[in-house]
Structure 1
Amino acid sequence: MLGSLRSIVQEVNAARDLPAVLEIIVRRVREVMHTRVCSVYLRDKQSGNYVLMATRGLNQDAVGQVHLAPGEGLVGNVVTREEPINLEQAEAHPAYQYFPATGEERFSAFLGTPIIHHRTVLGVLVVQQAEKRRFDEGEEAFLVTLSAQLAGVIAHAEATGALATIGQQRREAKFSGIAASPGVAIGRVHIVAPQANLATVPYSCCIDVDAELELFHQALASARTEIRDAGERLKGELNREERALFDAYISMLDDNSLAVEVCDRIRQQVSAPRAWAEVMLEHVRRFEAMSDSYFRDRAADVRDLGARVLMHLRQQQQSRRDYSENTILIGEELTAAVLAEVPREKLIGAVSVKGSANSHVAIIARAMGLPAVMGVQDLPYETIDGAEIVVDGYRGELHVHPGPELKRRYDSIVAEERELARNLDHLAGLPAETADGHRVRLWVNTGLMADVVRSLERGAEGVGLYRTEVPFLLRDRFPSEEEQREIYREQLQAFAPRPVTMRTLDIGGDKALAYFPIEETNPFLGWRGIRVTLDHPEIFLAQVRAMMKASVGLDNLRIMLPMISGLGELEAARKLVERAYRELVEEGYDIAMPPLGIMIEVPSAVYQVRELAEHADFISVGSNDLTQYLLAVDRNNSRVASIYHALHPAVLHALQEIVRVGHAANTKVGICGELAGDPGGALLLLAMGYDVLSMNATNLPRVKATLRAVRKADTEKLLQQVLGQQYPEEIEQTVRAYLKRIGLKALLQPAGQ
């Protein structure tokens, strides 16, 4: 039956709409299983009942007419039990219910399996036979397997169908993806359609080869100008590292090997559009076939470049549509160049059906302070052009045609953000001090020079995490020691005399370098962070030397080691840092030995905090990875991202233990994960006693306003209350209620998502 299973799933995937999907299922399952009846019941979202939506073997007039509540009849029992029901004689079962309209009194054998997607029973798949017999294990296994395979397809088809008629019904629809850039945007969808499709260029020959070559070179020149202009339009928004993305686009067009490949094909009398399409599609396929996520993300950039040049080859002009005052760009694969084409004053959000939090467009969105969600795979984006939509960059959610209640909730968040922005200057000059006089240091997480101005404007007192891998990610080779020194010097100078905590190179896991590929079956448990740099001391030493050289005359550098899982790694790294320091002193550099700290990100470090704290100058908790490892959840995987919850009781108990033991060893303890940038989370961290909260600059005013509105003594009572609770949802509700009680309800963003 495996071949039949594959065949059915392939047919379903190719179906044009939900009715076609259901018709394929009932027809093919009846054929494969040799049953008299196959039927599908689907949940009606409004009533919660399950409706007969397709059948082969029952009366067709019953379709759409038979409604069953959960628990009603055999089908309703499949729903409530969330498991198959296999009966030899259906009418003998106490839950059996006869519906005259179906004509099913002729059938005795019954097998029903639930169709479940994300823990929700979407429907029930039923087969029936006239004779009394129990379906065997193989038949039951086939139907269960098929139901599991079909669940995602039906969920997507339902969503597509709902949105296809949304103009008349205006039904609210929600889709989940990956949070790529924080913030909330409420606006109108502007669909970015592919400018030209490389895959549909027909084969054609050319007679005048020289004219075709000239056309090709003109198209390249036009595309270069177009991209350069797009980069110039964003010049005020971006700094050197972000602008390098546009330079990378142009350098690809300048790549001689690429042009030579195309010209060679043109000289073989292949038309310029066809030659260009062939070459670019080969490059796209190479990138898409790679296991490395960074490489795969580059395929979108190559495809976008290919489409741009193809338009010029066809002598087409880009369509210039009017943009609304609150434009939210949505496309299958957004790119940085596409983002740059929208007037900045009109662009308020971005959504990409494909892509990850590390794609170029996500990096640019964060640099621009633009709410963004990536990887919304179930979104039928083609059907929602012009629709009203909410982009929740905190949760990674989209709400199409939000209802009044939902819109009110998000309007309050947007209003609160605007109010905070208006009070920015006032807040920036005030300390993060509670009403009863307890002071907390609010630092920022940075990675691009664009973060610096925003951070200082918002009153950042230092940098708790400078991600040194970002300059590495934006290059096609390891930057030299001098190149690194220049980059680090900019950061240190910009924040001086405030402290800047530079994390040593943290690659692997979800961060891969194109020129240093790491292929592993389980990268998050593999060769990453300090493990890579200790294995490559030449990379580590060059980076640490560059950091120390950059700190000459400033002395505000702190060095932090990622992914420390035991004392041995800290000691080995310290020896290398001390060696680099001695070398530089011998070379005549007048520098102080910087403090050396560690990140607590893996469970083993939690249980060795005392030993680590005694040997480190400071400790900083990377709560994002620590939460991920404690809960065994890859938060970049949309299938399980909902399980990731920063307010999970296990996470909170671990965080309290870390700061308690660290302080017992007289070591300062900070935290630089997303929990620190959430107002509710910040209150709990304040109560635990964390010395430093480091966050994205966007969240700093919100957290500062929250801390200044509370008494530390009251937050300690709140902490004791939540530490006695057993469910993350319960903890989140308690924190929300507390913020509402003190008049800060709009400040709370969902820390657990």
Structure 2
Amino acid sequence: ELLSGVEEFIRQNLGAEKAFDLVMLEWRQRFARHSVAMLRERVSDLTDVHIRVLSLLLDLPDHDPVDLPKGARAILVTHDLTPGLTVQLDREAIVGIATDAGTRTSHVAILARSLGLPAVVGLRTAAGALAGGERAILDGTNGVLAINPSDAEIEAYRERALQEEIVDAELRRLANLESVSLDGVTVVLRANVDLPEEADAARDSGAEGVGLMRTEFLVVGRATMPDEDEQYRSYRRVIEAFAGKPVIIRTFDIGGDKLPVGGFPTEPNPFLGWRAIRMCLDQPAIFRTQLRALLRAAVHGDLRIMLPLVVSVAEVRQSRALLHEAADELEVRGVPYRRDVPLGIMVETPAAAVAADTFTAEVAFLSIGTNDLVQYTLAVDRGNANLANRFTPLHPAVLRLIRRIVDMGDQAGLEVCVCGEMASQPLMAYALLGLGVRQLSVAARSLPLV
């Protein structure tokens, strides 16, 4: 059965390693949920087979980075990581990651920050230069991987770590204070959430709700889509953690480097391809399942739905029509739901920014996704380490687009929030405030600092 599943994916034009990866992830989930305890206990064996066969298919050294004892305090150094593999890392064994590829705004770096996993990306040659087993220090703040440090260097890092703990404790103490500028301007700070289990930590960091919940991490690395009930439970968990505060949940942004479920086509330029709202509208059954789960979860609090990568009003209208269909389906089933859920968009392309005024009559709010907005405006791949110094959020073209979005939102009386990584850096947060932004959404760990 396992091999036939792999063969079926290969016939759908997936590579052998990707096909095997998807099928094994499905089998591991099947074993983990099995009613028989003996099978649940064999998940680790499946993981071992999974990694070792993938290593052979990819011509990598036969070493399983996950197969480490709890408390190993290991740093995983690799050429690159997918978001799906990052989510699966055993955080009780691996305390940091370093990759040759990637930038601060690549999805792996964002996810690592969200998971509280120190990371250094864009090292270019580290994986090939190391044999494994070296003593190392990972300095995520300064982007340094120190190999075989001296005793004096280790002591200096320990002293710095103690100082940072003192600063972090003071920031946490201030986190629940009202966010008001010296001239009396109130700024709303919300949290970005990647996984439902992060919700409590985000709330405790002082977040005034969730500005962005990325639902694609319920999907990446899986061979089957989560069903309606599973999604409903995930969304409800986040909503209830924030007890009536706004929770903005983005519909699936599958594609790019957030790997699609098996059977979806691989593309030469996925960031400009069949992803996000385009995929959802072309797969209405998948989209309606998610919308039904969202409408059900909305009963438990202030849920708002956000559409990603929208470039035309027609996409908003199509999505609203599917939202109405999802509500009608729930009505027939007699399932509790809320019909009047606010629908907004993520503005993350120059097209949407320039035409922001055409959306304001159709949506309840605007959210600026600066990561992709910078990427598309400057024609700079956000995940390419060779272009990291050219990924400049403070470029005049980017700032002018942000100002236009804010102006159009203000004229229409709509809330406008920035939920990209730009908002998580204090200096850039000042720039956003100067452009008129009054709502910021950042990773929970960045909230106290911002």
Task: Check if 1:381 corresponds to 2:133.
Answer: no
For residues 328 and 640 of structure 1, do their structure 2 counterparts lie closer, same or farther at Cα, with a shift above 3 Å needed? same
Moved more, 432-441 or 558-567: 432-441
Give 3-state SS (helix, strand or coil) of 1:620's partner.
Answer: strand
Give 3-state SS (helix, strand or coil) of 2:180's partner.
Answer: coil
Task: Check if 1:459 corresponds to 2:251.
Answer: no
Q: Select 1:604's aligned residue among 351, 372, 391.
A: 351
Give 3-state SS (helix, strand or coil) of 1:619's partner.
Answer: strand
Alpha-carbon RMSD across the aligned residues, in angstroms, is: 3.9
Contact residue 172 and residue 448 of structure 2 kept, 8 A: no
Match of 2:13 in 1: none
Contact residue 179 and residue 189 of structure 2 kept, 8 A: yes
Task: Check if 1:559 corresponds to 2:308.
Answer: no
- 1:700, distance to aligned residue in structure 2 (A): 0.4
For residues 321 and 482 of structure 1, do their structure 2 counterparts lie closer, same or farther at Cα, with a shift above 3 Å needed? closer
Match of 2:19 in 1: none
Between Structure 1 and Structure 2, how many residues are aligned? Answer: 402
- 1:695, distance to aligned residue in structure 2 (A): 0.4
Contact residue 423 and residue 432 of structure 2 kept, 8 A: yes
Task: Check if 1:391 corresponds to 2:183.
Answer: no
Please give the alpha-carbon distance, in whole angstroms, between the structure 2 residues aligned to 1:673 and 1:610. Answer: 21
Give 3-state SS (helix, strand or coil) of 2:448's partner.
Answer: helix
Equivalent position amino acid for 1:571 in 2:
R
Contact residue 295 and residue 337 of structure 2 kept, 8 A: no
Contact residue 240 and residue 301 of structure 2 kept, 8 A: no
For residues 544 and 416 of structure 1, do their structure 2 counterparts lie closer, same or farther at Cα, with a shift above 3 Å needed? farther
- 1:609, distance to aligned residue in structure 2 (A): 0.3
Give 3-state SS (helix, strand or coil) of 1:376's partner.
Answer: coil
Please give the alpha-carbon distance, in whole angstroms, between the structure 2 residues aligned to 1:560 and 1:491. Answer: 15
Task: Check if 1:578 corresponds to 2:370.
Answer: no
Give 3-state SS (helix, strand or coil) of 2:440's partner.
Answer: strand
Please give the alpha-carbon distance, in whole angstroms, between the structure 2 residues aligned to 1:249 and 1:367. Answer: 29
Please give the alpha-carbon distance, in whole angstroms, between the structure 2 residues aligned to 1:652 and 1:411. Answer: 39
Match of 1:146 in 2: none
Match of 1:683 in 2: 430
* Higher RCO (C-alpha under 8 Å, 6+ residues apart): 2
- 1:491, distance to aligned residue in structure 2 (A): 1.2
TM-score w.r.t. length of structure 1:
0.48
Please give the alpha-carbon distance, in whole angstroms, between the structure 1 residues aligned to 2:125 and 2:393. Answer: 25
For residues 446 and 377 of structure 1, do their structure 2 counterparts lie closer, same or farther at Cα, with a shift above 3 Å needed? same
Q: Select 2:43's aligned residue among 224, 235, 251.
A: 251
Q: Select 1:522's aligned residue among 269, 272, 280.
A: 269
Please give the alpha-carbon distance, in whole angstroms, between the structure 2 residues aligned to 1:535 and 1:383. Answer: 45
For residues 650 and 491 of structure 1, do their structure 2 counterparts lie closer, same or farther at Cα, with a shift above 3 Å needed? same
Contact residue 633 and residue 640 of structure 1 kept, 8 A: yes
Match of 1:487 in 2: 234
Contact residue 503 and residue 561 of structure 1 kept, 8 A: yes
Match of 2:442 in 1: 695
Within a 5 Å distance, the mapping from 1:199-214 to structure 2 comes to none
Give 3-state SS (helix, strand or coil) of 2:174's partner.
Answer: helix
Please give the alpha-carbon distance, in whole angstroms, between the structure 2 residues aligned to 1:514 and 1:249. Answer: 26
Q: Among the aligned pairs, what percent are the same residue?
A: 35
For residues 392 and 252 of structure 1, do their structure 2 counterparts lie closer, same or farther at Cα, with a shift above 3 Å needed? closer
For residues 583 and 417 of structure 1, do their structure 2 counterparts lie closer, same or farther at Cα, with a shift above 3 Å needed? farther
For residues 687 and 479 of structure 1, do their structure 2 counterparts lie closer, same or farther at Cα, with a shift above 3 Å needed? same
Please give the alpha-carbon distance, in whole angstroms, between the structure 2 residues aligned to 1:460 and 1:432. Answer: 10
Task: Check if 1:540 corresponds to 2:287.
Answer: yes
Please give the alpha-carbon distance, in whole angstroms, between the structure 1 residues aligned to 2:51 and 2:210. Answer: 42
Which structure would you say has the larger Rg?
A: 1
- 1:541, distance to aligned residue in structure 2 (A): 0.6
Stretches of structure 1 that go unaligned for 5 or more consecutive residues are 1-226, 228-239, 242-246, 259-275, 290-298, 309-317, 704-753
For residues 606 and 341 of structure 1, do their structure 2 counterparts lie closer, same or farther at Cα, with a shift above 3 Å needed? closer
Equivalent position amino acid for 1:431 in 2:
E
TM-score w.r.t. length of structure 2:
0.77
Equivalent position amino acid for 2:413 in 1:
N
For residues 506 and 386 of structure 1, do their structure 2 counterparts lie closer, same or farther at Cα, with a shift above 3 Å needed? same
- 1:435, distance to aligned residue in structure 2 (A): 2.0
Contact residue 249 and residue 305 of structure 1 kept, 8 A: no
- 1:484, distance to aligned residue in structure 2 (A): 1.1
For residues 476 and 669 of structure 1, do their structure 2 counterparts lie closer, same or farther at Cα, with a shift above 3 Å needed? same
Please give the alpha-carbon distance, in whole angstroms, between the structure 2 residues aligned to 1:512 and 1:684. Answer: 33
Match of 2:98 in 1: 351
Please give the alpha-carbon distance, in whole angstroms, between the structure 2 residues aligned to 1:689 and 1:354. Answer: 34
For residues 624 and 248 of structure 1, do their structure 2 counterparts lie closer, same or farther at Cα, with a shift above 3 Å needed? farther
Give 3-state SS (helix, strand or coil) of 2:386's partner.
Answer: coil
- 1:482, distance to aligned residue in structure 2 (A): 1.3
Please give the alpha-carbon distance, in whole angstroms, between the structure 2 residues aligned to 1:307 and 1:682. Answer: 37
Please give the alpha-carbon distance, in whole angstroms, between the structure 1 residues aligned to 2:41 and 2:384. Answer: 28
Please give the alpha-carbon distance, in whole angstroms, between the structure 2 residues aligned to 1:534 and 1:641. Answer: 33
Equivalent position amino acid for 1:329 in 2:
I
Please give the alpha-carbon distance, in whole angstroms, between the structure 2 residues aligned to 1:573 and 1:322. Answer: 47
- 1:413, distance to aligned residue in structure 2 (A): 8.6
Spell out, residue by residue over 1:166-223, the C-alpha distance to the aligned partner (whole angstroms, 9 max, x if none): xxxxxxxxxxxxxxxxxxxxxxxxxxxxxxxxxxxxxxxxxxxxxxxxxxxxxxxxxx
Give 3-state SS (helix, strand or coil) of 1:442's partner.
Answer: strand
Stretches of structure 2 that go unaligned for 5 or more consecutive residues are 1-27, 34-38
